[in-house]
């Protein structure tokens, strides 16, 4: 059922679309014709004189554009709800108008299809009833209309259709209608088309006579016409049978000077005849009078006749003569006939033995350089090679469809390139995102070791804090102090600027471990970090991988971040065992952590041979090692986690070598021993991140 409904809706939509496109197009190519028709309607309600011409002409262009655009929108199923509702409203109004013209008969032809097809008022009413029903079906469920174009391309078709049809109207106003559906098109022999063929059916009329006798009024026909005792009152004649009417039946030319009917002499003239057709000289465009005068001179020179046909008064003819210096003869004809002959005021016709061989708008008249020989030698003097109607229709369709297709193609290419660009951008953003991720925390951490008493430590902490509060660092800064300093130092630090850490913590949770300080205790001082695995603790206090593992677990369990140190001795480096050693240290104490816990680990690579010796690893050596550490972290926790892990270098790092070290992609900062004991030295290293 729903399939049938969709089929019906689409049949209705296509019927409406094709009707609208056709009626819009034929109106658009003949805006003056449409204007005349609108004026006829206005005249029927006595408004024609009140409405200015420019209004009716604009209405003609607008009406054509609305119909054509609606047709195209329906055809492509663009803006389905809006289009279907507008179509229904439009058809409802049109149907009401046709009901009126059917009843009141103010015009003989509705003008729906211009001069292309003429329908009787009854046929028009039937057509509109059918179309309004179709419009109702389509408007009922607009979404049933199958789209012929993606919604992203709709704007293109919409704009193009409107621009195309308005452009067509304006062009045809400037020139002449692309298709000439009127009886006076090129190739027509006027005289022949005025002739009624022998034996053609004659129009039959019946006259009714209204007669009166002794106060009695009665109707009679010719068959029962009464005697003379009846007095004639009135007569009524109606057509009872329409006979043959030749295509041209209203072409009469009278000389403006003598009043003589010269139609036959003009149409039977053996040579060429120019007819300048100006229905109304009062409203005619006089801007090209120079061209007209030159054509007249040319005609005189080459034996061609030249007449101006008009329906104007003597006064207006005289005025035209005054303005333009016209010397050509003027003839009178019916205004409607003249308007039918050519859609230009004035327009020019060239007849050859009564046959129309050329038509020009006053805007595109033949120019003097074209008129450089007798007409029979010129192309304009020959009957044009008329392309067949179907090939002209094809041409028009191509002028609409080809650019539309090319525009759609361009739009698709543009959309595709936009997509590619957005993908690239996305990639770039991803890269930035990745590099942001690579912008893992940069850290400079001080390791005071066992150097400062409480007062000196607090004083140094204060000094560092003040310096960094005054000038915000470009990295995280941590100072790691002996246990006894922690609580006091915590008091003097702005924890948003300087972090605090311990240099160690116990490998036991709590209990009878005299002299030990647990992770929980460290945390309770306000510290956030703890250094574990420092080579000095391993070396002097026998901290093994297992002990460190316990410490790491306890520190993390109590919410501390661990700065976990690793590094090889000189012998190990000389034996090229640094990777192996470091890997074993990490594997023994931190690689057991899960990914979540790993987020709280900071690695500090400190080659033992560089700590406190003044012998720094070169930046390349440090970078190589840190890259290796990152690679094994990646193996264990994945690339992303590795990219997020801050890995520091430690070992005789000072303000002088920090910039070089920190410039390496894998070095995320430093763990600083000796140089962290003086504020200026420490700050100098911190400032390396500003370079
Ligand atoms: C340290 O002890 O962690 C350290 C790197 O020391 P120094 O900077 O003095 O070499």
Residue pLDDT, tens place only, 466-522: 999 999 999 999 999 999 999 999 999 999 999 999 999 999 999 999 999 999 999
pLDDT of residue 48: 86
Which of 612, 675, 688 best tests ligand 1's pocket when mutated (most atoms within 8 Å of CB)?
A: 612
User: pLDDT tens for residues 577-630?
Assistant: 999 999 999 999 999 999 999 999 999 999 999 998 888 889 999 999 999 999
CATH of the domain at 314: 3.40.30.10
Query: Is pLDDT of 112 > 90?
Result: no
Residues 50 and 129 occupy one common structural domain? yes
Mean pLDDT value across the chain: 92
pLDDT of residue 386: 63
Question: Strands, DSSP E only, in 242-378?
Answer: 254-255, 272-278, 305-310, 330-332, 347-352, 355-361
Which residues pair with residue 272 across a beta bridge?
A: 352
If you take atom 4 of ligand 1, which residue's CA is the nearest one? 673
Residues 464 and 519 occupy one common structural domain? yes
- Phi/psi class of residue 43: alpha, beta or left (left: φ > 0; alpha: ψ in -120 to 50)? alpha
Catalytic option among 534, 543, 572, 585: 534
C-alpha distance from residue 374 to each of 306, 353, 411, 419 (Å): 15, 16, 52, 63
Active site residue 534: yes
What does the pLDDT average to over 524-544?
97
Least confident piece of the model among 81-85, 148-152, 178-182, 233-237: 148-152
Residues 326 and 416 occupy one common structural domain? no
Residue 528: alpha-carbon gap to chain centroid: 56
What number of other Cβ atoms are within 10 A of residue 404's Cβ? 19
pLDDT of residue 430: 54
Atom of ligand 1 nearest to the CA of 670: 5
User: pLDDT tens for residues 551-585?
Assistant: 999 999 999 999 999 999 999 999 889 999 999 99
If you take atom 6 of ligand 1, which residue's CA is the nearest one? 673
What does the pLDDT average to over 307-326?
95
Residue 684 to residue 468: CA distance in whole angstroms: 11
Report the predicted TM-score, pTM, of the whole model to 2 decimal places. Answer: 0.56
Higher pLDDT, 656 or 242: 656
If you take atom 1 of ligand 1, which residue's CA is the nearest one? 673
Q: Are 186 and 222 in contact (CB under 8 A)?
A: no
Residues 167 and 207 occupy one common structural domain? no
Confidence of residue 465 (pLDDT cuts 50, 70, 90): very high
Which of 603, 650, 669 best tests ligand 1's pocket when mutated (most atoms within 8 Å of CB)?
A: 650
Residue 52, exposed/middle/buried by CB under 10 A (0-12, 13-18, 19+)?
exposed
Query: Is pLDDT of 435 > 60?
Result: no
Atom of ligand 1 nearest to the CA of 674: 9
Whether 340 is covered by a domain: the verdict is yes
Residues 578 and 629 occupy one common structural domain? yes
Residues 422 and 460 occupy one common structural domain? no
Instruction: Name the domain count of the chain.
Output: 5
Residue 640: alpha-carbon gap to chain centroid: 40
Q: Are 351 and 267 in contact (CB under 8 A)?
A: yes
pLDDT of residue 395: 82
pLDDT of residue 436: 43
Which residues pair with residue 277 across a beta bridge?
A: 309, 347
What does the pLDDT average to over 285-312?
95
pLDDT of residue 417: 81
From the CB of 674, is ligand 1 less than 6 Å away?
A: yes
Q: Which residues form the domain of 263?
A: 254-367
Contacts of 391 (CB under 8 A, 6+ apart): none
From the CB of 611, is ligand 1 less than 6 Å away?
A: yes
Which of 605, 671, 676 best tests ligand 1's pocket when mutated (most atoms within 8 Å of CB)?
A: 671
Which residues pair with residue 356 across a beta bridge?
A: 351
Sheet holding 330-332, edge to edge: 254-255, 330-332, 305-310, 272-278, 347-352, 355-361
From the CB of 670, is ligand 1 less than 6 Å away?
A: no
pLDDT of residue 442: 97
Q: At what angle do helices 2-28 and 121-140 cross, to 10 degrees?
A: 130
Residues 419 and 557 occupy one common structural domain? no
Whether 192 is covered by a domain: the verdict is no
Query: Is pLDDT of 6 > 50?
Result: yes
pLDDT of residue 407: 76
If you take atom 8 of ligand 1, which residue's CA is the nearest one? 673
Torsion, CA 553, CA 557, CA 559, CA 562, rounded to 10 = 0
Ligand 1 centre to CA of 611 (Å) is 5
Torsion, CA 345, CA 346, CA 347, CA 352, rounded to 10 = 130
- Reported as type and span, the H/E element at residue 149 is none
Q: At what angle do helices 578-589 and 619-637 cross, to 10 degrees?
A: 40
Residue 690: alpha-carbon gap to chain centroid: 46
From the CB of 676, is ligand 1 less than 6 Å away?
A: no
pLDDT of residue 429: 56
pLDDT of residue 107: 81
pLDDT of residue 388: 63
Atom of ligand 1 nearest to the CA of 536: 2
Query: Is pLDDT of 180 > 80?
Result: yes
From the CB of 503, is ligand 1 less than 6 Å away?
A: no
Residues 68 and 160 occupy one common structural domain? yes
Residues 556 and 483 occupy one common structural domain? yes
What does the pLDDT average to over 285-302?
95
Active site residue 606: yes
DSSP 8-class letter at 203: P
Residues 408 and 529 occupy one common structural domain? no
Catalytic option among 536, 543, 572, 606: 606
What does the pLDDT average to over 162-177?
95
pLDDT of residue 422: 66
Whether 316 is covered by a domain: the verdict is yes
b/e sequence 456-481, b meaning 16+ C-beta within 10 Å: ebbebbebbbebbeeeebebbbbbbb
Which span out of 35-44, 129-138, 381-390 was modeled with the highest average pLDDT?
129-138
Residues 520 and 580 occupy one common structural domain? yes
């Amino acid at each position: 059922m729903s399939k049938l409904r969709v089929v019906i809706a689409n049949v209705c939509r296509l019927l409406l679309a094709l009707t609208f496109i056709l009626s819009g197009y034929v109106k658009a190519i003949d805006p003056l014709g449409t204007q005349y028709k609108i004026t006829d309607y206005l005249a029927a309600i006595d408004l024609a004189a009140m409405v200015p011409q420019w209004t009716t002409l604009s209405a003609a262009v607008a009406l054509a554009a609305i119909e054509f655009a609606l047709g195209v929108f329906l055809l492509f199923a663009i803006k389905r709800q809006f289009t279907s509702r507008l179509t229904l409203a439009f058809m409802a109004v049109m149907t009401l108008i046709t009901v009126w013209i059917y009843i009141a008969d103010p015009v003989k032809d509705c003008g729906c299809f211009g001069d292309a097809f003429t329908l009787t008022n009854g046929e028009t009413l039937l057509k509109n009833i059918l179309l309004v029903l179709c419009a109702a079906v389509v408007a009922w469920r607009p979404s049933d209309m199958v789209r012929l174009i993606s919604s992203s391309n709709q704007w293109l078709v919409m704009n193009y259709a409107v621009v195309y049809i308005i452009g067509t109207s304006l062009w045809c106003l400037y020139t002449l209608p692309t298709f000439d559906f009127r009886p006076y098109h090129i190739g027509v022999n006027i005289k022949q088309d005025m002739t009624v063929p022998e034996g053609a059916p004659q129009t039959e009329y019946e006259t009714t006579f209204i007669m009166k006798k002794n106060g009695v009024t009665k109707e009679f026909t010719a068959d029962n016409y009464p005697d003379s005792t009846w007095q004639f009152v009135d007569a009524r004649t109606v057509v009872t049978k329409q006979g043959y009417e030749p295509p041209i039946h209203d072409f009469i030319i009278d000389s403006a000077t003598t009043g003589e009917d010269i139609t036959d002499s003009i149409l039977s003239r053996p040579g060429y005849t120019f007819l300048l057709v100006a229905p109304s000289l009062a409203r005619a465009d006089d801007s090209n009078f120079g061209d007209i005068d030159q054509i007249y001179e040319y005609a005189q020179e080459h034996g061609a006749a030249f007449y101006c046909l008009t329906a104007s008064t003597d006064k207006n003819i005289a005025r035209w003569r005054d303005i333009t210096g016209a010397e050509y003869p003027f003839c009178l004809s019916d205004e409607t006939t003249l308007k039918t002959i050519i859609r230009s005021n004035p327009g020019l016709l060239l007849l050859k033995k009564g046959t129309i061989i050329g038509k020009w708008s006053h805007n595109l008249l033949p120019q003097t350089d074209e008129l450089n020989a007798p007409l029979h030698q010129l192309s304009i003097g020959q009957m044009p090679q008329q392309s067949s109607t179907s090939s002209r229709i094809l041409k028009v369709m191509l002028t609409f469809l080809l650019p539309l297709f090319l525009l759609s193609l361009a739009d698709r290419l543009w959309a595709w390139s936009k997509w590619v660009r957005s993908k690239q951008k996305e990639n770039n953003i991803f890269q930035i995102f990745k590099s942001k991720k690579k912008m893992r925390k940069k850290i400079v951490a001080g390791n005071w070791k066992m150097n400062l008493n409480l007062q000196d430590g607090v004083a140094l902490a204060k000094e560092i804090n003040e310096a960094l509060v005054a000038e915000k660092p470009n990295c995280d800064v941590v100072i790691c102090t002996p246990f006894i300093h922690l609580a006091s130092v915590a008091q003097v630090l702005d924890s948003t600027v300087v972090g605090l850490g311990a240099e160690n913590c116990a490998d036991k949770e709590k209990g009878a471990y005299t002299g030990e300080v647990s992770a929980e205790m460290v945390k309770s001082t306000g510290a956030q970090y703890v250094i574990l695995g420092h080579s000095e603790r391993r070396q002097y206090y026998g901290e093994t991988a297992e002990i460190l593992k316990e410490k790491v677990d306890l520190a993390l369990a109590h919410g501390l971040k661990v700065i976990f140190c690793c590094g090889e001795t000189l012998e190990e480096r000389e034996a090229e065992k640094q990777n192996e050693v470091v890997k074993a240290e990490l594997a023994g104490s931190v690689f057991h952590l899960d990914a979540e816990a790993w987020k709280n680990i900071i690695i500090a690579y400190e080659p033992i041979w560089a700590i406190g010796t003044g012998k720094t690893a070169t930046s390349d050596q440090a970078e190589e090692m840190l890259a290796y550490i990152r690679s094994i972290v990646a193996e264990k926790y994945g690339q992303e986690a590795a990219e997020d892990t801050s890995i520091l270098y430690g070992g005789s790092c000072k303000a002088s070598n920090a910039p070089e070290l920190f410039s390496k992609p894998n070095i995320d900062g430093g763990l600083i021993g000796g140089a962290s004991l003086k504020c200026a030295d420490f700050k100098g290293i911190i400032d390396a991140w500003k370079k």
